[in-house]
Amino acid sequence: MRIENIAAILLLTGLASLGFAYMRARGRRDSLWFRAKKAPVARDAIFEALADPMVILDEHNHVADINAAMLALLDKTPAEVLGKPAKSVFENFPIPIRMYLQTSYARAEAVFEINSRQIHYELTIWPVFNAKREMMGRIHICHDITALKELEGELRKLNAGLEERVKKRTHELAEAYESMLEGLALALELRDKETEGHSRRVAGNALKIAARMGVKGQGLEDIRSGAILHDIGKISIPDEILHKPGKLTPQERAIVDEHPVTAYKLLSRIPFLSKAVEIPYSHHEKWDGSGYPQGLAGEAIPLSARIFAVADVWDALSYDRPYNKAWSRAQIIEYLKEQSGRHFDPAVVKVFLAMTENGEI
């Protein structure tokens, strides 16, 4: 704390407890209010030495005492102001003392220019009491807060610059994130050419269904990310099993069925994919609980995975695969109806079928 602030606190404490802390008769001043009073020399020196301009007004709002800092601001001598009405003394004064002549407690700010520089002052008003707690007047303290205001301005500029840098960096991270997703999806497609374009198509349809069901904002972004990465776990499946044209053995099927768990282990450690991982981990769960890897049923299956399951099967049956020829649109619709309540969430199937009827998918 600045020494002048400590001094001001001591000064105000003295005013409150003694009531006439500033009542003094100075040899160079003829203070009308304090003519017959004597104050401790130490207090007199503090008042005079304070950097903050101060003036004491009596109960009639005449200048009872004033320190050197205030005189310097006024560019006046003690004789020109002591005993004079505050209205006339401070008539052209930039700090609004005249506005608070009838106020016992107040704090206000004033801004004015000196040599093309904005100057900021804070005005504080306190009452002055005597020993009987009778108000004898008011003390007006002016504190130069220009440096503080300039610092605040610089901090605002710095903050604006930091915000701009954060926005730029966030955009760069978003682009890097997008590139990473696209890269992973492409890597999967290059390894399994039979499913080329599958992830993007399924992601598009899943987003349409989700939006129709009221999913918004980040929820849609999580579905998109999860859809693109839904088969990321297949990187753990050996090529001879992944590309096997015939029926898989039970041992091979067990390896394939592990790919959702592999996806979970890969993606769950990445904070920004914490919700998106629901699709890679749970898109093989079934509404009746007969799916894998956890055997979840009904609404225990995340909504994103339930939505994705419908979009995934729709796309998988719409294109030729090594183990299955493409089905007709009518066949797939009939299959979805048949599996509603078994494999698929009936609510999702209902929405999806309505969208196929309307030509949205």
Q: How far apart are CA 262 and CA 280, in angstroms?
A: 9
Interacting residues of 22 by C-beta distance below 8 A, sequence separation 6+: 15, 34, 39, 43, 44, 47, 56, 64, 65, 128, 139
Catalytic residue among 157, 234, 265, 350: 234
User: Which amino acid type is present at position 344?
Assistant: F
Q: How far apart are CA 314 and CA 352, in angstroms?
A: 10
Q: Which helix (H) or strand (E) holds 278?
A: helix 278-282
β-pairing, 117-129 vs 135-144, is antiparallel
Q: How far apart are CA 267 and CA 261, in angstroms?
A: 10
User: Which amino acid type is present at position 65?
Assistant: D
Q: How far apart are CA 95 and CA 240, in angstroms?
A: 87
Q: Checking phi first, is residue 290 left (phi over 0); if not, alpha (psi -120 to 50) or beta?
A: alpha
Q: How far is CA 242 from CA 250, 253, 257, 317, 319, in A?
A: 14, 10, 12, 18, 17
Active site residue 234: yes
Active site residues: 234
